[in-house]
Amino acid sequence: MESLIYLMQGFGTALDPANLMFAAVGVILGTAVGVLPGIGPALTVALLLPVTFKLDPGGSLIMFAGIYYGGMYGGSTTAILLNTPGESASVVTALEGNQMARRGRGGPALATAAIGSFVAALIATAGLAFFAPLLVKVAVKFGPWDYFGLMLIAFVTVSATFGSSPLRGLTSLGIGLWLGLIGIDQLTGQTRLSFGVPNLLDGIEVTTLAVGLFAIGEALFVASRHLFNDEKPMAIKGSIWMSREDWKRSWKPWLRGTAVGFPIGALPAGGAEIPTFMSYTMERKLSSKPEEFGKGAIEGVAGPEAANNASAAGTLVPLLTLGLPTSATAAVMLAGFQQYNLQPGPLLFVQHPALVWGLVASLFIANVMLLVLNLPLVGLWVRLLKIPLPWLYAGILVFACMGTIAANPSVIELMMLVGFGFLGFVMRRYDYPIAPVVVGLILGPMADSQLRRALQMSLGDPMILLQHPGSAIMIAIASIALLAPFFFRGLSKFRQDED
């Protein structure tokens, strides 16, 4: 009940005219950057963080919410019109969405994605507002051992669900964990792997890593491939509005997508990739016109797009209540909160209820704003897609470097950014997933300090992790999730050898 009052107060703040303007600017900027090919929501948030630095915390959080939802929406536009999904979660949207655009139904595809995202985000944000306080009540009872168990699960699910093989995913995670070691250890003051470079003492900045891996790495990779592949954006022909039949075929997939997306996003189960694929398969089975799948079935856009957005709102549940980022976007958002001196976790709800509920209210408002602004502005977004690639990537690189040196004015920081860019390029070239690196960098030091806190409380006895039922169960889940793919792959390999 108390939280409802706070939520109402949050709406009061968010509906202030100046804040409404911040939300609108955030949504427009987020969409404009998110719509650029190759730029997913994580990168959109990372690139636009510097823009919000100097605003007051309330205003910047509201703008931030707008950027987040705007980036999500922009990604789906690119997937539909250009067939270049900016992130793995829009791969499925591109499947049917681009087919629809090719058949002159780009307008309804964009509309069902936008309205589906709206419906999903609305329900999922309401879910967030409902479940977060409940989870906070549980989370305040969590000991360091429980947090450690949770982080183990997050490590395994993040690295095992992304990428083409568990070895590659775990390697990405390992690189992230290793980068997380760098700097001064918070508990003892011991420096780790700083090699005498003063800039490394504070550790690696998450935004520098994310922008380097995603923006610079992507630019290098696209540059290396531009001779070999040439996608032109589809023109939107005909009406952009959905027909009565489109509505009829869309509303159930929206709701089903939301029902799949939100719980999977809220559990630390590895991002939006799985729910979008699940939703796609489900819609294909349930569709009255399964023959249209692969040729532009509207259900195949409506369902996965709703699942994508619902799971993105779902990842905010562990992020806000436990301080646990389970996707690259959530990791960058966590860095954003820390920039405003906010530490997500159960204490945030107790200490800054006005801010948390202000953010939840702004998510609602950003969502409405998105729907109101984006459908009429779709022509503008399409024009953005037509910026020639050379200028587009040149601009992205300038903006990415600018953001990093504006946040940390030093040449060393820029060199690290470029270094991460080349790392991102190599990882892309050899098919290593990027997201586990970012998640590893953030969660690694957190897992380290939780484990050590647990061991200090047990006077060094590691059995404490297994004596508490919560952490014992979570460690068991993590081990099973880690070993299962290797085991099953071993089995299938064994069978192949027998043939």
Partner 1 sequence: MSTPTASRLHRPTLVIGIGLFAIAAITWHDAANMKIRASYGMGADAASYFISIFLGLLGLGHLISAFRRQTDPEPSDWKAVLWVSLGLLSLIAALWFDLGFVLGSTLLFCFTARAFGRKALLADIVLGFVIATGIFLLFNKVLTLGLPMGPFERLF
Per CB under 8 A, 415 contacts partner 1: yes
Among 126, 368, 389, 472, binds partner 1 (CB under 8 A): 389
* Cα 13 to Cα 67: distance, rounded to the nearest angstrom: 18
Among 4, 21, 102, 224, binds partner 1 (CB under 8 A): 224
Q: How far is the CB of 55 from partner 1 (least distance, A)?
A: 9
Contact 257, 310 (CB under 8 A): yes
Per CB under 8 A, 463 contacts partner 1: no
Question: Scanning the structure block, which residue is given the tokens 């804040």?
Answer: 19
Nearer to partner 1, 57 or 174 (CB): 174
Per CB under 8 A, 51 contacts partner 1: yes
Among 192, 252, 284, 352, binds partner 1 (CB under 8 A): 192
| DSSP string across 364-429 | HHHHHHHHHHHTTTHHHHHHHHTS-HHHHHHHHHHHHHHHHHHHS--HHHHHHHHHHHHHHHHHHH
Question: Scanning the structure block, which residue is given the tokens 């970012």?
Answer: 438
Per CB under 8 A, 49 contacts partner 1: no
Among 12, 294, 390, 490, binds partner 1 (CB under 8 A): 390
Per CB under 8 A, 218 contacts partner 1: no
Q: Where does this chain touch partner 1 (CB under 8 A) — which range of 102-110, 143-151, 321-329, 413-421?
A: 413-421
Q: Pick from 322, 304, 331, 359: which is nearest to 66 by CA? A: 359
Per CB under 8 A, 174 contacts partner 1: yes
Contact 133, 456 (CB under 8 A): no
Q: How far is the CB of 326 from partner 1 (least distance, A)?
A: 20
Contact 89, 279 (CB under 8 A): no
Contact 173, 437 (CB under 8 A): yes
* Cα 373 to Cα 362: distance, rounded to the nearest angstrom: 16
Q: Where does this chain touch partner 1 (CB under 8 A) — which range of 73-81, 289-297, 309-317, 428-436?
A: 428-436
* H/E run at residue 192: strand 191-192
Per CB under 8 A, 391 contacts partner 1: yes
Q: How far is the CB of 410 from partner 1 (least distance, A)?
A: 9
Q: How many residues does the chain have?
A: 499
Q: How far is the CB of 406 from partner 1 (least distance, A)?
A: 4
Q: Where does this chain touch partner 1 (CB under 8 A) — which range of 5-13, 215-223, 296-304, 364-372?
A: 215-223
Per CB under 8 A, 233 contacts partner 1: no
Among 65, 401, 437, 478, binds partner 1 (CB under 8 A): 401
Per CB under 8 A, 402 contacts partner 1: yes
- Give the CA distances from residue 290 to residues 98, 287, 429, in Å, rounded to whole numbers and listed in that order: 17, 5, 35
Q: For partner 1, what does the binding mask look like between residues 134 and 173, x meaning CB under 8 A?
A: ---------------------------------x--xx--
* Cα 392 to Cα 78: distance, rounded to the nearest angstrom: 14
Question: In a 3-state reduction of DSSP, which class is residue 219?
Answer: helix
Among 223, 380, 472, 476, binds partner 1 (CB under 8 A): 223
* Cα 341 to Cα 201: distance, rounded to the nearest angstrom: 19
Contact 74, 381 (CB under 8 A): yes
Per CB under 8 A, 53 contacts partner 1: yes
Per CB under 8 A, 193 contacts partner 1: yes
Contact 367, 118 (CB under 8 A): yes
Nearer to partner 1, 460 or 469 (CB): 460
Burial of 337 (0-12, 13-18, 19+ CB in 10 A): buried
**What is the 3 state secondary structure string of 408-426?**
CCCHHHHHHHHHHHHHHHH
Q: How far is the CB of 186 from partner 1 (least distance, A)?
A: 9
Q: How far is the CB of 414 from partner 1 (least distance, A)?
A: 6
Positions that interact with partner 1 (CB under 8 A): 50-51, 53-54, 167, 170-171, 174, 177-178, 181, 185, 187-190, 192-193, 216, 219-220, 223-228, 388-391, 393-395, 397-399, 401-402, 405-407, 409, 411, 414-415, 418, 421-422, 425, 429-431, 444, 448, 451-452, 455-456, 458-460
